[in-house]
Amino acid sequence: MTEAGPTPSAAGEAGTTAYDIDWEGLRTRAIEMMRRAYAPYSSFPVGVAGLVDDGRVVAGCNVENAAYGVALCAECGMVSELHATGGGRLVAVSCVGRDGEPLMPCGRCRQLLWENGGPTCLLLARGGILSMADLLPRAFDRDDLDS
């Protein structure tokens, strides 16, 4: 587990450190997004906010569908906003469930975060800060396509 203690310890791809990240601001934005979720089938609203390596914050909420299997996770919306507003790399992410507390991203969304943030992207979890390397060890990614 990557510690986010009082000393900078985890470097993002743009040199951002856990110490620099406004985690409470990111979580507040994630909670705002969670309140906009469309989750009439699960009654489980999710919100997520991510800090981009140029300082932007992108966010999303889950959007469900009567055809249950095509529900969009909150992370899908966030990644869509990332690309729609200029791209870049995610360096820190806060995802919350309906209680506003940190939520662990589902398996598919870990893959989305890996693609757009890589192993050093950080996630606010209940016990502290985790890196994507913690969340998705031995991940499949574009390097595997070359092999």
Give residues in contact with ligand THU (CB under 6 A): 39, 42, 44, 46, 62, 64, 71, 73-75, 105-106, 109
Nearer to ligand THU, 74 or 121 (CB): 74
Nearer to ligand THU, 108 or 147 (CB): 108
What lies within 8 Å, CB to CB, of 6 at 6+ separation is: 19
Cβ 68 to ligand THU shortest distance, Å: 9
Determine which one of 3, 32, 75, 101 is catalytic.
Answer: 75
Cβ 74 to ligand THU shortest distance, Å: 4
Nearer to ligand THU, 49 or 73 (CB): 73
Rounded to whole angstroms, the Cα distance separating 3 from 130 reads 7
Is 75 among the catalytic positions? yes
Rounded to whole angstroms, the Cα distance separating 73 from 46 reads 8
145 CB burial (10 A radius; 0-12, 13-18, 19+): exposed
Nearer to ligand THU, 14 or 32 (CB): 32
CB burial of 52-89 (b: ≥16 within 10 Å; e: otherwise) equals bbeeebbbbbbbbeeeeeeeebbbbbbbebbeeeeebb
Cβ 9 to ligand THU shortest distance, Å: 25
Cβ 70 to ligand THU shortest distance, Å: 11
Return the active site residues: 75
